[in-house]
Amino acid sequence: MLVLGRKPGEYVVIDDKIKVAVIKSEDGHLRLAIDAPKEIKIKRGELYEEEQRLLKQV
C-alpha cells in the first residue's frame, strides 16, 4: 500500500485514468473527489468489506 500526504487542491493520478483529488480538509475530516471512467467501479470501503464478508459465507 502506498501512503501519501496531500493538501487540499493536490491530487494523484492512477494509471493515467483515475484522478483522486483532496478537495476539503477540516477538523480532521477529509473529502476526496474521484474522476474515473464509468466502467471502473468505485465502492466505499464499508460496502466492499460487507460484500466480501457475504461472499465468504456462501
Strand partners for 18: 14
- pLDDT (tens digit, 0 to 9) for every residue of the chain, 58 residues total? 999 999 889 999 999 999 999 998 778 788 999 999 999 999 999 999 999 999 998 7
3-state secondary structure of 24: strand
Q: How many helices and strands in the chain, by DSSP H and E?
A: 1, 3
Grid cell in block for residue 43: 465502492
Domain boundaries, the chain: 11-57
